[in-house]
Structure 1
Amino acid sequence: MERDKKLIIYDIVFLIASLYFSFLLKFDFKIPAEYMIIIKLSVIPVVVITLIFNKFFKLYNSIWKYASIEELMSIIYSISISNIIFVIYSYVINYKFLEKTPYYRFPFSVHIIFWILSVIALGGIRFNYRVKEESKEEKTGKKHDKKLLIIGAGDASAMLIKEIKRHKDLTYDVVGLIDDDESKKGKLINGIKVIGGREHINRVCNQKGVEEIILAMPSADLRIKREIINICKNTKCKLKTLPGIYQIIDGKINISKLRDVNIEDLLGRDEVKLNNENINKYIKDKTILVTGGGGSIGSELCRQIARFNPKKLLILDIYENNVYDVQMELNYNHPELNKEVIIASIRDKKRMNKIFDKYKPDVVFHAAAHKHVPLMEENPSEAIKNNIIGTYNILKCCDEFKVKKFVQISTDKAVNPTNIMGATKRFCEIMVQAFDKASETEYVAVRFGNVLGSNGSVIPLFKKQIAHGGPVTVTHPEINRFFMTIPEAAQLVIQAGAIAKGGEIFVLDMGQPVKIVDLARDLITLSGYKPDVDIKIEYTGLRPGEKLYEELLMNEVALTSTEHDKIFVDKPIGEDMGFIEESIEQFSNVAYMDKESIVKLVEEKVPTYKRKK
């Protein structure tokens, strides 16, 4: 309030001074006596009019420490309108008060000079506050203890530099900007020089002692980002990335949410293009059930399905903590969504019957499963009860309650499995194809590899090991896996459901396999450490049932394309329902069987299963 009063006083003083100097400049500093009458008659009205419009344009409400082009435009609008009123006033006083005097009125050039001086004076007062505050921060302020290089010289980097200069807690000394646009080279953005293109990154980091690099290029495509991240990895600097500029402008993300560059940024692929029309046909205004809805894939399926306006979304899981988190997230992001959380076990057929009878789902996405290979090797009966018996219960309910479509989440470990988990998932594929032949429901399975960052995957484990100073453990130097991001996997599963006619095993395009040791090295580097120097990598040997290489297809010759360029179909290899019912009866007795007997039974039912000795 005190500062507002001071501003008003300053405005009055500078407006009077501007008016007087306008006449001085017009008449070469010798104002004719006749014009002094006009000046005296004009001072109070001009000041009052200008103050009124200053108030209207909120020039006494802004925090001038953060003054920008918007505030400057408000000053220009206020002074311009005030001057228009001033022009009209000058004619009025000439007619009313000066008719008996010689014919004098405001020279038009005085109005122009007064406008310029007023904008300079009133703008200067306000922007002086900003300069003082910034210089005060520099004096009291910040320890520039981290040398920072920013990649990108656009809107995002301009906003970032402003925030760094403004906030004491962002203790950075920005050494320069990198941008491949040659026309920007040598130019300044908020006082920071554009050094050149990506070819200068290593040199600048070495010469300037750069400790951190921030990628401020939200509009760049993934290929360019990956190329630049790969260059930055060699600098040994800590890497961070800036969220999309449109999200910052919309207020969805604060600049403080700068995050570390992660492995998803490095391995992520171009955005999946969905055929929304086909998806709408089987999701919109339908009741959708997602089993395992609290898991990594199940929860992402729920997020993606919510976008397509289902009539009702049923989220089923046995573990209430995870599914509660999903519920709260959907409450916030999709308050309009009609949803219900169901805590239940897919092993309980009677409970499943009640759920299907009550809600009559149109589509079922089955993501509930035990998936940890070493744990299932030690607990094969639990893998069978959950993965096989539980899936059979859901398949049976889909048939009995006339579900339109069933989509099974499968895995690359089901291909020529060498472990119990993979074998149980392969048997689920066999059941899916058998049920499809015998039922009006369309049953399909979707097979893909590892999902980046999913619960229990290698990425979270590596991050924990790095956080504790290592070592990072890898089972074998040659072991590799296929990877995709959680959103990509969920989107392709939903798209596969739209393509499905029934009986297919869809295979998702997983790209090229990645060596796990390379993944470990990248994660260590992205965390700001040197592999095998700061953080050691140790090899622990293959675990029971673990392969060096995963396969996505039973038979590559059988692969056929679909209308979507990332989804393929494996040739169906089916069994009849008689085999399935007999097998389920035998599997139902696993609780009373020893481990060796269970393994032999699985070998009998899944011919492609070859356990590792």
Structure 2
Amino acid sequence: MVFASVLPPLLHLARSLGRAEKMAVLVFMDGALAPLALWLALIAQDSSLRGPAALQGLWLFAPALSLAAAALALALGIPRARLKSYDGAGLARTALHGTALAGLGAALALLAGLALPPGLWAVFALLFVLLAAGMRLGMLQALEALYRSEAPVTRVLIYGAGMTGIQLVSALKRHAAIRPVAFVDDNPGLQGLTVAGLPVHRPARLAEIVARQRIGRVVLAMPALPRARQAVIARALQPLGVEVQSVPSFAQMIGTEAAPDRLQPVLPGAFLGRAAVADALEGLAAVYAGRTVLVTGAGGTIGAELCRQILSLRPRRLVLLDHAEYALYAIERELRPLAEEAGVALVAVLGSVGQAGLLRRLFAAQRVDIVLHAAAYKHVPLVEANPLAGLANNVLGTEVLARAARAAGVRRFVMISSDKAVRPTNIMGASKRLAEIVIQDMAARSGGRTLFSMVRFGNVLGSSGSVIPLFQEQVARGGPVTVTGHDVTRFFMTVEEAVALVLRAGSLARGGEVFLLDMGAPVRIGDLARQVIEAMGGTPRDAANPDGEIEILEIGLRPGEKRHEELLIGGNARPAGHPKIYAAQEAFPSEVEVAALLRDLREAVEEEALPRALQAISRWVEGYEDTAAPPPDLRLSGTRL
């Protein structure tokens, strides 16, 4: 009770002291310890001396020694060292302080004519160092106890009693709100021992230790263990109701080594199985430099990369259009310093491609030369669940944007399409095919004033909602990794090379082309899942490897998904001036039919009449109802896509 009553004033005093006041306290303590060390040294030299008699004849010398101790402490900068940073270096400085003080004391005693026992100053130096170091460590422990008594304490169990674990204990012991209480370790040679002052237990006793010691957090201090294995351990700890964290390697903690490869993010391009395109931007400055370029969907994965690469081509002005406020804010903040450095005017516009009035004002005010249309709802299951919203944005929005661009005399209009537009089995793919039809119709009626074109490609590795980030997240949780089917295939390309080829294709357009990007051979989703697991240090568990750590679970195709994707609807594609780009002229409805299609879709969206919208899709999108037909083996000039 007495301690509880004095605790608040002590805490208030400790917090109210400024830096100079804390240094003054330490200087005073060093000065006070000098006479005490001298007294103890005299007693050690002559055991017959007791009490104040030991300092008889030294009443004037003791204060002088105290002042000398304070002066030396200031000269050596000892009070400037923070208590919680007092370590081996601090102890060495204290030893230097004691040695110097002993030498100075011996000189002062000689000048004063004092007859002191031989060897006194060596004993004095040792005692002073012990007292000064002990005083500091004692003050540190007292302060930590005061802060711990006020703050709620999290009791921590450390999994791994190696060097990283030992260093972690040393760091946590200085934290007022965290108290390490024990280790667990798989090494039988460490179990039962005491390491860094903490007992080491077997992992089999985890549940018992957590309950008995009231553990709130388990820290995995095993950086050499693959992340997948750490994820398995973390998942096993979840039923115990504790927070699970992990730490980097010991070398990382002390800043002497770069992170190991296994702790680095897995780069999406590592899973392509082919060399990425590296030279697609060469020679494009003549097309984009000095122009005003509008990028729709600028905050998305594709749109943001379009903006980055366009900036490298030095346009006169780059206009960012997106209806998502934070996405627009994030990309504008990222690009602003780059644009200023390149001398490019940057304009951020918050709005939708379906706002005709906004677009008219935008095209008039900014005098746009090139439109790169990347705005779209692209996630298959989400659009399948919200079909009218997908059709309104992807089809009707594209029509409003294209009409405004043509009316403003924009020179080039490039729409980002998808391989899902080919004989689609889902609303998202159908909406992209309908958007392509709109652009083809615009190209046919523009008379070459605006060069409309489309670029069709497959999945972008690492984009939002794509499989690589999903697989990585699932592996980090310890699995399972879910795949739609082990034999399901998809075309993949990195966002950097896809965007570079889009810009190249836009420069090659003559009007109405559907550009196809050579994405290499399709990748089996099951193989991709195994690669991600192994790249993150785990081993896949499936029928072929039942002892693996991370399970691969087949969940089947989601609504609207195809087992295999295609890139070409019909006809032959021709080389288009770059080895990775092909062009095709595909059939599309007449102007009257496109007008009827858009009228039906617009009325269906306005009236929330989904059956009418689906009827329009079935009528105008080739293959939409025929979902069972096997895909053809697509080859373009001998190159498999």
TM-score by length of 1: 0.57
Q: Matched residues in 2 for 1:212 and 1:529: separation? A: 6
Residue type matched to 2:576 in 1?
T
Residues 1:286 and 2:301 are matched in the alignment: no
Partner of 1:542: 557
- Map 1:25-104; keep pairs closer than 5 Å: none
| Cα offset, 1:418, TM superposition | 1.1
| Cα offset, 1:579, TM superposition | 2.1
| Cα offset, 1:143, TM superposition | 3.8
CA RMSD, Structure 1 to Structure 2 (Å): 2.6
SS class of match (2:308): helix
| Cα offset, 1:385, TM superposition | 0.3
Q: Match for 1:581 among 590, 595, 599? A: 595
C-alpha contact 1:448 1:510 (8 A) present in aligned 2: yes
Q: Match for 1:385 among 384, 389, 392? A: 392
Residue type matched to 2:278 in 1?
V
| Cα offset, 1:343, TM superposition | 0.5
Q: Deviations over 1:322-349 (max 9, x none)?
A: 2222112112334333111110011211
Residues 1:332 and 2:341 are matched in the alignment: no
Residue type matched to 1:540 in 2?
I
Q: Match for 1:571 among 585, 596, 600? A: 585
Partner of 2:59: none
Q: Matched residues in 1 for 2:600 and 2:609: separation? A: 14
Q: Deviations over 1:378-407 (max 9, x none)?
A: 211011100000000111011100000000
Q: Match for 1:411 among 393, 413, 418? A: 418
| Cα offset, 1:512, TM superposition | 0.8
Q: Matched residues in 2 for 1:212 and 1:373: separation? A: 34
Q: Matched residues in 2 for 1:266 and 1:581: separation? A: 43
Q: Matched residues in 2 for 1:413 and 1:261: separation? A: 27
C-alpha contact 1:473 1:539 (8 A) present in aligned 2: yes
| Cα offset, 1:612, TM superposition | 4.5
C-alpha contact 2:299 2:324 (8 A) present in aligned 1: yes
Q: Matched residues in 2 for 1:585 and 1:350: separation? A: 19
C-alpha contact 1:419 1:612 (8 A) present in aligned 2: no
Gaps of 5+ in 1: 1-141, 146-209, 214-239, 241-253
Q: Matched residues in 1 for 2:226 and 2:485: separation? A: 32
Q: Matched residues in 2 for 1:406 and 1:517: separation? A: 37
Q: Deviations over 1:165-189 (max 9, x none)?
A: xxxxxxxxxxxxxxxxxxxxxxxxx
C-alpha contact 1:477 1:517 (8 A) present in aligned 2: yes
SS class of match (1:582): helix
Q: Matched residues in 2 for 1:547 and 1:286: separation? A: 40
Residues 1:597 and 2:632 are matched in the alignment: no
Q: Matched residues in 2 for 1:588 and 1:523: separation? A: 43
Q: Matched residues in 1 for 2:500 and 2:306: separation? A: 7
- Map 1:196-275; keep pairs closer than 5 Å: 259-267=264-272, 269-274=275-280
SS class of match (1:410): strand
Q: Matched residues in 1 for 2:260 and 2:609: separation? A: 52
- Map 1:123-522; keep pairs closer than 5 Å: 143=163, 259-267=264-272, 269-274=275-280, 276-277=282-283, 279-336=284-341, 337-439=344-446, 440-522=449-531
Query: Relative to 1, partners in 2 of residues 1:611 and 1:378: Cα closer, same or farther, differing over 3 Å?
Result: farther
| Cα offset, 1:283, TM superposition | 0.6
| Cα offset, 1:584, TM superposition | 1.3
Query: Relative to 1, partners in 2 of residues 1:371 and 1:493: Cα closer, same or farther, differing over 3 Å?
Result: same
Residue type matched to 1:292 in 2?
G
Q: Matched residues in 1 for 2:599 and 2:271: separation? A: 47
| Cα offset, 1:598, TM superposition | 2.1
C-alpha contact 2:538 2:549 (8 A) present in aligned 1: yes
| Cα offset, 1:554, TM superposition | 1.2
Partner of 2:189: none
Residue type matched to 2:327 in 1?
N
SS class of match (1:562): strand
**Which shows bigger deviation, 414-423 or 323-332?**
323-332
| Cα offset, 1:461, TM superposition | 1.4
Partner of 1:30: none
Q: Matched residues in 2 for 1:496 and 1:418: separation? A: 27
Residue type matched to 1:381 in 2?
L
C-alpha contact 1:383 1:421 (8 A) present in aligned 2: yes
SS class of match (2:319): strand
Query: Relative to 1, partners in 2 of residues 1:282 and 1:270: Cα closer, same or farther, differing over 3 Å?
Result: same
Q: Deviations over 1:335-387 (max 9, x none)?
A: 33311111001121122111112112000000000111111112110111000
Determine which structure has more spread, i.e. the larger CA radius of gyration.
Answer: 2
Residues 1:552 and 2:567 are matched in the alignment: yes
SS class of match (2:368): coil
| Cα offset, 1:594, TM superposition | 3.8
Query: Relative to 1, partners in 2 of residues 1:322 and 1:275: Cα closer, same or farther, differing over 3 Å?
Result: closer
| Cα offset, 1:275, TM superposition | 5.3
C-alpha contact 1:544 1:612 (8 A) present in aligned 2: no
Q: Deviations over 1:127-176 (max 9, x none)?
A: xxxxxxxxxxxxxxx9489xxxxxxxxxxxxxxxxxxxxxxxxxxxxxxx
C-alpha contact 1:371 1:421 (8 A) present in aligned 2: yes
| Cα offset, 1:255, TM superposition | 5.3
Q: Deviations over 1:237-276 (max 9, x none)?
A: xxx9xxxxxxxxxxxxx95696244342232623331253
Query: Relative to 1, partners in 2 of residues 1:262 and 1:280: Cα closer, same or farther, differing over 3 Å?
Result: closer
Partner of 1:199: none
Q: Deviations over 1:85-127 (max 9, x none)?
A: xxxxxxxxxxxxxxxxxxxxxxxxxxxxxxxxxxxxxxxxxxx
C-alpha contact 2:281 2:503 (8 A) present in aligned 1: no
SS class of match (2:578): coil
- How many residue pairs match? The answer is 370
Query: Relative to 1, partners in 2 of residues 1:257 and 1:313: Cα closer, same or farther, differing over 3 Å?
Result: farther
| Cα offset, 1:534, TM superposition | 1.5
SS class of match (1:511): coil
Q: Matched residues in 1 for 2:497 and 2:345: separation? A: 24
Partner of 1:26: none
C-alpha contact 2:600 2:612 (8 A) present in aligned 1: no
Residue type matched to 1:272 in 2?
A
Q: Matched residues in 2 for 1:517 and 1:463: separation? A: 14
Q: Matched residues in 2 for 1:303 and 1:577: separation? A: 36
C-alpha contact 1:370 1:387 (8 A) present in aligned 2: yes
Partner of 1:111: none
| Cα offset, 1:578, TM superposition | 2.2
Partner of 1:606: 621
Q: Matched residues in 2 for 1:597 and 1:581: separation? A: 16
Partner of 2:65: none
C-alpha contact 1:554 1:570 (8 A) present in aligned 2: no
SS class of match (1:546): coil
